[in-house]
Structure 1
Amino acid sequence: MGVALVTGAGRGLGAGIARLLAARGWTVAVNDLPGRMSDVLSRITEEGGTALAAPADVTAEDEVRALVEEVGPVDVLVANATGPQPVVELAKLTWRTHLDQLEFFVKSPTLLAQAVLPGMKERGRGRIVHIGSDMPDRALPGWSAYSAGKAALAALTRVWARELGQHGITVNLVAPGWIPVERHADTPADEQDAYVADVPLGRIGTPADIASTVAFLASDDAAFVTGQCLTVNGGHTYPR
């Protein structure tokens, strides 16, 4: 089927996406910082899939270029990597706070897309899937820098879809709601219960919900889907 590069795949949503794509037959290049990929690589192998270790800092131009050269032509790019997500009120917000988010949600996706683009154009096909968020719509206080970065990523998705459609390349974004992963291990149970109370489907989301949406967008079934921002949050559309 070809190579799927998943960034930030050492844990959390990225790990789930990488495992499912491998199960669907893709050779998955598992990207993260060195030392964070061994568990995912082992699990993919144990589950009968094929995985490649692809360590790199995907906010560094030279490392992104070398990464794509190393894993070979990329058929599916999943830009999932993220950094710290601090809650910062306006009075304490700095330009550096904004830049920290833009590094992952504008700079990194741009570098990655530029690196995989020549190969995708040459083959006349390709899939780019961004992992966004429903936070810009929820508009929670203290999340302005994170929300601005994710909103910018959605704009890139729509523009690039129009630019690249002529080359057979689709560009879409998956916007998860709150999906508890390792970073949320200390979240109080009552906070999760309060969130679920506002979810029409009556449950918390899981990494598998996001992975299956990404797998659809990477598949031939989504060949005529581009420029879309698919929210996966169980219908949780109102801020709390």
Structure 2
Amino acid sequence: MKTALITGASRGLGAALAEALAPTHHIIAVGRTTGALEDLDDRIKALGGEATLAPMDITVDAAMQQLCRSIFDRWGSLDLWVHAAIHAAPLTPASHVNPSDFSKSTDVNLTATSRLISYVAPLLGAVGKAVFLDDPRGGTAFFGSYGATKAAQIALARSWQAETVKTGPQVQILNPNPMSSATRARFFPGEDRSTLADPRDEATRLLPDILA
């Protein structure tokens, strides 16, 4: 069976994509919340799939090195990486950005992504695929920490995409629709959530592109 590494698999779109991919891939689910990963494992098993749970913080470099080494030792390679991990800092004017929030946003959204690309690329080789999820809020009012670091993450992914056109792995950047996720609820607490997509429905919509 093919393998799929999902970083940010605890909840939201990451968890939904893990479930959607479970019929065709062994899921390696990375997230910080052990209970949420165990719940995901139960749902994957109910679908007849299998998962390996990795309750880890992607900002811990040694943990990510060990994770990728373990993937190599067990499977030798990786077919798919979906990077759904994100830090959503509180909304604030740019002139009032909290330094610790900005630092955490940079650590999770940019620095950890850069390190993971370097560690995961050899596992994907020439034929694997990496998937990133865009959220074009760079330059939007009050989204300074999140918008700037998410935009930088996608810029990094686009550079990797351009560099690997002829050599692989394939790098794909997808654009999810607004979803009724916990992250969005923190940004827009009073929003009418009935107008938003369910993460599972969005995973179903994106799945054909991921598997193409």
Question: Normalising by structure 2, what TM-score?
Answer: 0.86
1:134 aligns with 2:126: no
Report sequence identity in percent: 25
Unaligned runs of 5+ in 1: 197-202, 222-240
2:66 alignment counterpart = 66
1:108 alignment counterpart = 112
In the alignment, is the contact (CA less than 8 A) between 1:9 and 1:18 conserved in 2? yes
1:28 alignment counterpart = 27
1:206 aligns with 2:203: no
Q: Deviations over 1:130-167 (max 9, x none)?
A: 1221323xx43211111111111221121101212232
The structural deviation recorded for 1:87 is: 0.7
1:13 alignment counterpart = 13
Secondary structure in structure 2 of the residue aligned to 1:146? helix
Q: Write the distance in 2 (CA, Å) between the matches of 1:8 and 1:160.
A: 20
The structural deviation recorded for 1:34 is: 5.1
- How many corresponding residue pairs? 205
In the alignment, is the contact (CA less than 8 A) between 1:133 and 1:177 conserved in 2? no
1:117 alignment counterpart = 121
Q: Deviations over 1:193-219 (max 9, x none)?
A: 7xx8xxxxxx42221343235433432
Secondary structure in structure 1 of the residue aligned to 2:52? strand
Q: Write the distance in 1 (CA, Å) between the matches of 2:170 and 2:3.
A: 16
Q: Which one-letter code corresponds to 1:77 in the other structure?
A: W
Unaligned runs of 5+ in 2: none
Q: Which one-letter code corresponds to 1:126 in the other structure?
A: G
In the alignment, is the contact (CA less than 8 A) between 1:135 and 1:147 conserved in 2? yes
Q: Write the distance in 2 (CA, Å) between the matches of 1:91 and 1:159.
A: 30
In the alignment, is the contact (CA less than 8 A) between 1:54 and 1:71 conserved in 2? no
Report the aligned-residue RMSD: 2.2
Tell which deviates more after alignment, 175-184 or 49-58: 175-184
